Amino acid sequence: MKIMAINAGSSSLKFSLIDMDNKEVLLSGVFERIGIEGSNYTLKNKDFKIRQEEELTDHYSAVKILMEKITELKIITSLEEIDGIGHRVVHGSDVYSKSVVITDKVLEDIIKFSDLAPLHNPANVLGIKAFKEALPNTPMVAVFDTAFHQTMEKKDYLYPVPIKWYEEYNVRKYGFHGTSHCYIAKRISEIKEKDNLRIISCHLGNGGSVTAIKDGKCIDTSMGFTPLAGIMMGSRSGDIDPSIIPYVMEKYGKSAGEVIDDLNKKSGFLGISEISNDTRDVLEAMADGNEKCSLAVDMFVKSVVKYIAQYYVELGGCDVIAFAAGIGENNNLIRLKIMESLAALGVIADIEANNTNREEKKISSKDSKIECWVIPTDEELMIAMDTVELIK
């Protein structure tokens, strides 16, 4: 079966076409700056990479070009070869605890949940509608970022605020990066050949989250009502005292929306280093002696370690700590700092193994009480796997 995995943003469209018989990526790419001057697309597979400037007025024009190119490049001979399309959808509220075939009712719900993810769900809807127009007879599946976390208990997902906020307006912890954490849990179970594992999954990228997983199910996660909560990130603050918001509003004459925007886009690595939200830039400046960049790295490590320690207690111990995403897969220095900070839990790094990036590998020593692994996450494959299951 050939499955298209789609991740639509407000001005972008990422995709992978995967042959699920052998898990081969036939074509992947991204359409960028949709509806903005300077729009372009990149298409690639094992044999080629094409980058083309192209006017992309909307998601429909991007999908139209993709459908033309996919046959023109002889990736497939007919669009009918695409058996299903899986769409990443950020928010499924507490209604969807698993992936579902997209019906008119499901699409209505995704639109309805837009007030919970105003930057993401409307963009996801655009992608769904564009592919529905281009391939009206191809079944489509919604894979929710929040779904994996719906196994949390009330004591873990409720906030200690007036309970009417939850009962009337759905104020609760939802968690995100669920597709990635789900993939990591499944992959660790395959490696260890057992399901009854206690896993702490660290999805560390420009956005990041830490999740406690027991017997394949999420019991707690660091992100909350929105992706702003939890660990420090590229440009997001992570957890802060909420009283800071009205204080800063008064001191700087800002609105609540402007302060939230600062916490989302001007904080984290960027806010502390004052250089970049990209850890590569921060580490380069740190190596040159920049103290603010060194501070930013130390703060990031501490924020991750704090959640790992908390989840170690919640899980009653831990079998595997897994590192994934841009930082988790590619930054051996930060991984090492995290592991060294967990010495009290019996974590011992294998320095040589940890020095290798971008590959699935155990990076803790044989004497470590907790195994540490790098697991390159594959959200596209996870989306495709869920799509296959549902359209069969």
Residues pairing with 114 in the sheet: none
Tell me the sheet residues that pair with 13. 8, 31
Active site residue 145: yes
What the block records as the tokens of 180 is 């990635």
DSSP state of 151: G
Tokens of residue 62, six digits: 């991007």
**In angstroms, rounded to a whole number, what is the distance separating the alpha carbons of residues 79 and 189?**
35
Considering Cα of 186, then 191, then 197, then 202, what sign does the dihedral take?
Answer: negative
Q: Exposure pattern of 342-357 as b/e (b: 16+ CB <10 Å)?
A: beebebbbbeebbeee
- String of DSSP letters for 257-284: HHHHHHHHHS-HHHHHHSS-SSHHHHHH
Q: CA–CA separation, 209 vs 238, rounded Å?
A: 10
Q: Would you tell me the crossing angle of helices 379-391 and 178-192 to the nearest 10 degrees? A: 90
- Check if the beta carbon of residue 270 is closer than 8 Å to that of residue 277: yes
Q: How far is CA 390 from the centre of its chain?
A: 22
Phi, psi of 174 (to 5 degrees): -110, -40
The angle, 0 to 180 degrees and rounded to 10, between the axes of the packed helices 332-341 and 279-287 is 80
Nearest to 198 by CA among 75, 345, 343, 81: 345
- Integer CA distances (angstroms), 66 to 44, 52, 153, in order: 12, 12, 42
Rounded-to-integer distance, Cα 149 and Cα 309, Å: 19
Alpha-carbon distance 197 to 69, whole Å? 44
145, 220, 378, 386: which one is catalytic? 145
Retrieve residue 108's tokens: 């209505």
Q: Are 374 and 201 in contact (CB under 8 A)?
A: no
Q: Which residues are catalytic?
A: 145
